[in-house]
Structure 1
Amino acid sequence: MATFSIQSQLDSATLPPAKMLIDGQWIEGALEPVRHVHPTTDEAIFDVPGGDAQAVGAAVGAARRAFDDGPWARMPGRERARYLRRIADAIREDADNLAALLSLDNATPAAFVGYYQMGAEYPADLFDSYAGWIDKITGETYPQWEADQPFVFTTHEPVGVVGLITPWNAPLGLMSQKVAPALAAGCTVVAKPSEMAPLTSLRLGELIAEADLPPGVFNLITGAGTDVGTALVSDRRVDKVSFTGSRAVGGQIASSMGARIGRVSLELGGKSPALVFADGDIGLAVAMAAGNAFLGLSGQVCVCQSRILVERPIYDDVVGQLVGFAAAASYGDPFDPTVTAAPMISVAHMNRVNGHISRAVKDGAAVAAGGAKRPAGAPDSGNFVSPTVLVDVDNSMAVAQEEIFGPVLCVIPFDSEDEGIRIANDTEYGLGAAVYTKDVSRAVRVGAALRAGNVGINTWTLQPHAPFGGVKQSGLGAENGRAGIMEYLDTKTTFIR
């Protein structure tokens, strides 16, 4: 397939400024810019400002002053809610442009940007939802423990300055999941998006700036994680860090924050199972699992159901349908509405995913579809990996235990409900899980037995008003809904005699 150019699409979008937002001002980066290379064509299309420790210090200082001395934390809830709704409206008005920027960021196919969680409506709803939470975070009063004792009540107060670090795979939605509740709680923000997908985050920063928040309330810095992320986490003026990304980096952040008793919330990915029972809707199960793994971002999704656990009588049928689904993926210009699958975000990540597939084969797995090779019909350029279905997989293999973050599914049979649950829970991760069955009693029973923060019964979704988070090595804390805003609030108990 001939190579094409993505450059022509740059004119169709309103690009954000190649600058950082600090204390209400757009400034240049002090270090060499980071080249944003499009994963479909290997073209450098944007220079990400190279922030350094000094820029981080300036941003944190601005956020500290805005919290300690500014009006934001003490602003009446009604006024703060108006700012959030203004941001929500701006996101909706810029929806088409944000969609184009997302495809320029990480090659999300235009055909998938319209899905609720991928497009502009989801982040806009997050800001709207949290605007509505501002006046609903109420405290409690307590009866006297014994006679002639003080009146006791609790209130919730903003944590302070928060550092928000987001990944490249869903930059607009994941940034909004953190910024919206932090601002609603009354915190001030220093946001650090991934340098590998900067455009939508910078544009979101531009839209927030246009909402005229007080200076220093929202700051956005860019650059390499080793320069910017490390400086942000180590700055003792930052009260809390919220991070979404790899388990390795999350562990480093937890150690750094823990050493100074700083607050932290982490979403660190998963190795999510889908349990498909013989009485379940096989077509639905295959569409949900393979759709996440082979289409859209091609498995570069934290809640991807990458382990397909299948009751043995339907095992061959499920494998056959997964193989057919893999063959349906199409590749090319992400702005082409007929394209359904994305490349890996970088050459290094492509090589890592192919390495996992090769190792799985050496460990004894068999390739039913795909393999460590370039998919048929893919462009000559780009970081494409074949949609891969692996069978003869033992759950102890590395490919079944480690997060691959690519278009790779492991299909594992089970003979009983208890065995399926055991295999599903046999992982260090605990972000998501799914159960496919028409037996309501079994659905409830199995769902309750799964060690995961999110369980789908004959479905999978993510919604702004429902908590989202993991257990075990998948992270700490939750985002969205009431749980999300509580992550940015401290509880104070007051005694009055």
Structure 2
Amino acid sequence: MTLTVQPHRESVGLKAGQLLIGGTWCPSESGATWTHHHPATGEEVGEFAKGTAADVDAAVAAARKAFDSGTWSRPRAGVRIGLLHRYAELLRKHADELRALQALDNSVPLSFGGIYATSVGAAADVFDHHAGWVDKLGGQTLPPYQGGDHLAMTFREPIGVVAAILPWNAPFLLFAQKVAPALAAGCTIVLKPSEYCTFSVLRMVELLIEAGLPEGVLNVVTGTGEQVGEALINHRDVDKVSFTGSRAVGKHIVEASAGTLKRVSLELGGKSPAVVFADAPNVGVAAATVVGAVTMGLSGQACVANTRALVHRDVYDEFLGAAQGMAAAVTYGDPFDPTVISAPLINGRQLDRVLGYIEQGKTEGRLVTGGERLGGDLAGGNFVAPTIFADVANSATIAQEEIFGPVLAVVPFDDEDEAIALANDTEYGLGAGLFTADVQRAFRVTRALKAGTVGVNGFQIEPHLPFGGFKQSGLGREGGLSAIEAYTELKSVFLPLTDEMM
């Protein structure tokens, strides 16, 4: 039986997507539209407006007008706090609807949408967390350094108009990690969703308007990176760009920002290691955790997934056996089927790219399982079997380059020093994991790893923990106080208290 998502499309009631500019939903200036093809079936799912540079100009102008008016940038703190909390509750109320829209966008199965890091609940928690910072974004009053009677003070002020550019793989969390701190700080926003994950984001925007967000504070221009994204990063009236996506695009954004010295926050991916020591509490659980992150849910299309497993030789065979068992348990198909736990690759281009890396891997390691595109009832989609390569040198292409697919490279090591050296031998530094029962080793290795987030015997993203990377995994952090501060500018103020200093 051929796989189809059309019945779900009708039940969800998918609407045609439009742009949001200055509080009004409207078509693109050109009238052009993008047709979205479902990655699990190749079927046409729906259309949305394909924005242009002229649409970006209008959206940025609306955001600038809203910012300069002060209706959002200079209200009482309670206004922002109340709205962010109301929105968090609306997200929780509409969680099932949003998960269904995501399944039509990127085919992430409903079964995986309840896992915290990719859930609507996590996004709601991010908004609640940042609401708590609104009335705590204070500056400092400093004692005079020189003589005289005066005050030296600092203030934090919103940075201005923000261009928030989202990827397709985790719309709920990444929407929240960009929009929540920007709104909490008092900024206005022009948002560009990925063309491969638009409908769920548009619904999140609708709910934000329902929560009472003033007109023009959040504007949305859908479309391609070549048109909309390029216009945003080069726009002279955009004060900050926040982007999650590929390293190549991140570098391009840094270059484009030089003309106006825009503030930039970038989360650019990784080649994260999982270090499994011989004294791991449970090697089988470690293998299931690593393989699950690379194959379940997003099918390895997650920047922080541990796509390199560095395994001590004493437990190497045990790890590989458990890893094969976990890979065999992964199921694919209709994302609305509760027995399905993984997604296809997002599009044909990514499918070809991953299959190309797999062919390369066959020359660089021993293929343990997988390595092929799935056929039969799944032939219409972009499905690739969970793939594990053993005996891989850490210098190999599949151990160094971000594949963004269900491919795991397993590298053996002999001692702690070698494990640390291998883990850090990468241009990336987003995440890392280690599995050990030795608390001293856990802290010792954690301090030595060059990664923004390290999980010990498990991994989780928390709303109040900063998330971002070392080295070429990006600039800045999302989550926690550091995130909201990144949407502000510091202003120093000098105030004499007597006429003697005038």
TM range (shorter): over 0.9
Change (3 A) 1:320 1:377: farther
Aligned to 1:284: 285
Looking at structure 1, the residues matched to 64 and 379 of structure 2 have their Cα atoms a distance apart, in angstroms, of 49
Looking at structure 2, the residues matched to 212 and 82 of structure 1 have their Cα atoms a distance apart, in angstroms, of 10
Partner deviation per Cα, 1:34-77 (whole Å, 9 max, x = no partner): 11111001001011211101110000000001111241111011
- Asked whether the 8 Å contact 1:16–1:203 carries over to 2, the reply is no
SS in 1 for 2:307: strand
Change (3 A) 1:462 1:432: same
- Asked whether the 8 Å contact 2:16–2:46 carries over to 1, the reply is no
After TM superposition, the structure 1 = structure 2 runs for residues 162-181 of structure 1, keeping only pairs within 5 Å, are 162-181=162-181
- Asked whether the 8 Å contact 1:51–1:222 carries over to 2, the reply is yes
1:9 matches 2:4: no
Looking at structure 1, the residues matched to 419 and 411 of structure 2 have their Cα atoms a distance apart, in angstroms, of 9
Aligned to 1:469: 468
Structure 1 residue identity aligned to 2:489: D
Alpha-carbon shift at residue 32 of structure 1 (Å)? 2.2
Alpha-carbon shift at residue 208 of structure 1 (Å)? 1.2
Sequence identity (%):
50
Number of positions where the alignment pairs a residue of Structure 1 with one of Structure 2: 494
Alpha-carbon shift at residue 20 of structure 1 (Å)? 0.9
Structure 1 residue identity aligned to 2:312: E
Alpha-carbon shift at residue 15 of structure 1 (Å)? 2.8
Structure 1 residue identity aligned to 2:295: F
- Asked whether the 8 Å contact 1:23–1:63 carries over to 2, the reply is yes
Looking at structure 1, the residues matched to 16 and 47 of structure 2 have their Cα atoms a distance apart, in angstroms, of 10
Change (3 A) 1:31 1:360: farther
Change (3 A) 1:43 1:140: same
Looking at structure 2, the residues matched to 31 and 229 of structure 1 have their Cα atoms a distance apart, in angstroms, of 18
1:199 matches 2:199: yes
Looking at structure 2, the residues matched to 353 and 343 of structure 1 have their Cα atoms a distance apart, in angstroms, of 12
Aligned to 1:95: 95
Alpha-carbon shift at residue 155 of structure 1 (Å)? 1.3
Looking at structure 2, the residues matched to 254 and 462 of structure 1 have their Cα atoms a distance apart, in angstroms, of 26
Aligned to 1:342: 343
Alpha-carbon shift at residue 330 of structure 1 (Å)? 1.1
- Asked whether the 8 Å contact 1:374–1:385 carries over to 2, the reply is yes
SS in 1 for 2:316: helix
Aligned to 2:456: 457
- Asked whether the 8 Å contact 2:284–2:318 carries over to 1, the reply is no
What TM-score, normalized by structure 2, do the two folds share?
0.96
Alpha-carbon shift at residue 378 of structure 1 (Å)? 5.9
Aligned to 2:499: none
Aligned to 2:431: 432
Structure 1 residue identity aligned to 2:161: V
Alpha-carbon shift at residue 158 of structure 1 (Å)? 0.3
Looking at structure 1, the residues matched to 37 and 205 of structure 2 have their Cα atoms a distance apart, in angstroms, of 21
Looking at structure 1, the residues matched to 418 and 376 of structure 2 have their Cα atoms a distance apart, in angstroms, of 40
Bigger Cα displacement from structure 2, 196-205 vs 113-122:
113-122
SS in 2 for 1:164: strand
1:156 matches 2:156: yes
- Asked whether the 8 Å contact 1:375–1:387 carries over to 2, the reply is no
SS in 1 for 2:112: helix
After TM superposition, the structure 1 = structure 2 runs for residues 203-214 of structure 1, keeping only pairs within 5 Å, are 203-214=203-214
SS in 2 for 1:112: coil
1:302 matches 2:303: yes
SS in 2 for 1:334: coil
Aligned Cα root-mean-square deviation (Å)? 1.2
After TM superposition, the structure 1 = structure 2 runs for residues 214-225 of structure 1, keeping only pairs within 5 Å, are 214-225=214-225
Looking at structure 1, the residues matched to 385 and 470 of structure 2 have their Cα atoms a distance apart, in angstroms, of 31
Alpha-carbon shift at residue 31 of structure 1 (Å)? 4.3
Structure 2 residue identity aligned to 1:83: L
Looking at structure 2, the residues matched to 376 and 285 of structure 1 have their Cα atoms a distance apart, in angstroms, of 30
Looking at structure 2, the residues matched to 414 and 484 of structure 1 have their Cα atoms a distance apart, in angstroms, of 36
SS in 2 for 1:139: coil
| Unmatched segments (≥5 aa) in structure 2 | 497-502
Partner deviation per Cα, 1:187-223 (whole Å, 9 max, x = no partner): 0000000001111111111111222322110101101
Alpha-carbon shift at residue 138 of structure 1 (Å)? 1.9
Change (3 A) 1:223 1:439: same
- Asked whether the 8 Å contact 2:16–2:47 carries over to 1, the reply is no
Looking at structure 1, the residues matched to 152 and 25 of structure 2 have their Cα atoms a distance apart, in angstroms, of 46
Partner deviation per Cα, 1:375-397 (whole Å, 9 max, x = no partner): 37762310011101101211111
Looking at structure 1, the residues matched to 172 and 13 of structure 2 have their Cα atoms a distance apart, in angstroms, of 15
Bigger Cα displacement from structure 2, 301-310 vs 134-143:
134-143
- Asked whether the 8 Å contact 1:289–1:305 carries over to 2, the reply is yes
After TM superposition, the structure 1 = structure 2 runs for residues 70-469 of structure 1, keeping only pairs within 5 Å, are 70-148=70-148, 150-280=150-280, 281-362=282-363, 364-371=364-371, 373-375=372-374, 379-469=378-468
Change (3 A) 1:16 1:177: farther
Alpha-carbon shift at residue 176 of structure 1 (Å)? 1.3
SS in 1 for 2:136: coil
Looking at structure 1, the residues matched to 110 and 318 of structure 2 have their Cα atoms a distance apart, in angstroms, of 31
SS in 1 for 2:135: coil
Looking at structure 1, the residues matched to 15 and 261 of structure 2 have their Cα atoms a distance apart, in angstroms, of 36
Looking at structure 2, the residues matched to 149 and 165 of structure 1 have their Cα atoms a distance apart, in angstroms, of 47
Looking at structure 1, the residues matched to 375 and 24 of structure 2 have their Cα atoms a distance apart, in angstroms, of 48
Change (3 A) 1:51 1:415: same
| Unmatched segments (≥5 aa) in structure 1 | none
Alpha-carbon shift at residue 114 of structure 1 (Å)? 1.1
Change (3 A) 1:415 1:149: farther
Alpha-carbon shift at residue 366 of structure 1 (Å)? 1.4
